[in-house]
Structure 1
Amino acid sequence: MSLYGVIRLLSDQYGPGIAWSTGHALLLLGALGFIPVFLFLGTFASGSGRASRINAAVGAVLGVLGSVSVAVQAAIDLYAAAVSGTQTEMVQWQLQFQSQPLVMPLIYSVVPMCLYLGLIYLAGVLAFARPRPVPVWIPITLVLGVVAMLLGLDFISLGTLLLAVALAPLARFYKADRISHGGGVRQAAERSVRLP
C-alpha cells in the first residue's frame, strides 16, 4: 500500500495507463496482505477468557472484511482501466457500476472502513489486555497510522509506514506461534524474549 501511495504522489494520471495499473495492482496486493495480519493479530490478542476471544474475533473479522472490500475495489478499478480507452470512458464505466444497488456501501464507502476500524479495535484489545502482551507504543502507533490514512490518499504512504513500524516487532511472535506446542500464541509469546 505504501508503494501505491508513492505512485499516486508522483503521478497525476487518473485513468488508463501504467501508473494507474501499477498503483492499483500494488493496492490490491497490499489489501490482501492485511488478511494474514488480521488473522494473526486476532489470534494473538485473544486471551483465555470468553470475552477476550470475542473481542479479538470481532476485530479480526472487521479487518478481514475491510481488506477484502478494498481489494475488490482495487480490482474493479484495474478492470475499469483495462476496458476503457480514455479517462472519460473509465469514469463513465465507474459511475455506471457504482450506481448498482449496494455497490457503494459494500465496496466504496462503508465496508472498506472496516479495515481501519479493525486495526483500531485490535489496537485497543492489545493495549488493554491483562497482562498486556505488547508495549503500549505499538497500539498507539497503529492508531496514528490509521489516522494518517484517514486524512486522505496523499497520506497513505505515511500511514502504512507507521503501521509497518508498529507491526514489525510482532514478527517474532509468528515464529513463537509456529514453534509452540499446546499453548496459544500469547503463551508462546510470553515464553519468548520480551519486546523492547
Structure 2
Amino acid sequence: MNKSVAFTTAPVLVTAYAGLRALDGMDGERGPGPAWTAGHLAFLAALILFVPVFLELRRLAGRGPFATATAAIGLVGAVCTMAQISVDLVVGALAADHAAMRGMFADVQSVPGVSLVVYAVGPVLLFVGLLVMFCRLAVVRAVPVWRTVAVVLAVLVSLLGLDALPAVGLLLCAGLAPFPGRGTPPATAHS
C-alpha cells in the first residue's frame, strides 16, 4: 500500500466516523442501525490504516529504541481500539434496540480487565503514541512544526470526548494528510 494513502485515508475515515456518529445520534440514541454500523466500519478501517502510519513514523524517527517503543505504544492503542470497535459492531448487529445494546455492553464490560484495557486505558495509547511521535519528529526536524501542532491539538481536543471527534478528525487530516516525510533524520538525532 502507498504510505501516503494511509496517511490521507486514516484521518478522513476518523472524520467520516464522527459524521456518521452525529447522524446516528440525531434521534437521541446511537445504534443499532446502518449509521452505527457504517460509522464503526469506517473507524475500524481508519485504525487498520494507523498500522502503516505508525510504522512509517517510526522509520522517520530513526527506528531507534525510543521510536520503536513509541510506535509500539501507538499500535497497542490501535489494537485496543480495534477490539472496542469490534465489540461495538457485534453488539450493534445482534441487538434489536438500544436497550438491548446497553445490556450487551454491560455484559462485555463486566468481564475482568475488559473495561480497563479495551475501553479506558488502551485506546488512549493510540493518541499518546501519536503525540509523542510527532513531538519527536518535530524535534529532529523530520516533519514541519505545524504538522505537530495539528496532531497535538487533535490529541488535546480528543480529551473533550466523542462529541469532539469531528474536530479531532479534521485536525488529524491537517497533521497527517498528505504526508510528505523528509526521510530519516540525521544519525546524531536518533535515540
Q: 2 CA distance for matches of 1:104 and 1:156?
A: 21
- Show the counterpart of 2:184: 186
Structure 1 runs (4+) greater than 4 angstroms displaced = none
Q: 2 CA distance for matches of 1:187 and 1:73?
A: 35
When Rg is computed on C-alpha atoms for both structures, the one with the higher figure is 1
Structure 1 unaligned blocks of 5 or more:
48-52, 177-184, 189-196
Pick aligned residue for 1:14 from 18, 30, 42 = 30
1:148·1:159 contact (CA, 8 Å) conserved in 2?
yes
Work out which structure has the larger RCO, using CA pairs closer than 8 Å and 6 or more positions apart in sequence: 2
- Show the counterpart of 1:63: 74
- Show the counterpart of 1:180: none
Following superposition, the deviation at residue 69 of structure 1 comes to 1.0
Q: Provide the alpha-carbon RMSD of the alignment.
A: 1.8
2:21·2:30 contact (CA, 8 Å) conserved in 1?
no
Instruction: Please state if 1:24 is matched with 2:40.
Output: yes
1:149·1:160 contact (CA, 8 Å) conserved in 2?
no
- Show the counterpart of 1:164: 173
Q: Count residues with an aligned counterpart.
A: 170
Q: How does 1:33-182 map to 2 (within 5 A)?
A: 33-46=49-62, 53-129=64-140, 132-170=141-179, 172-173=180-181
- Percent identical among aligned pairs is 35
Following superposition, the deviation at residue 168 of structure 1 comes to 2.1
Calculate the TM-score normalised by the size of structure 1. Answer: 0.81
Structure 1 residues 29 and 134, CA gap change in structure 2 (3 angstroms): same
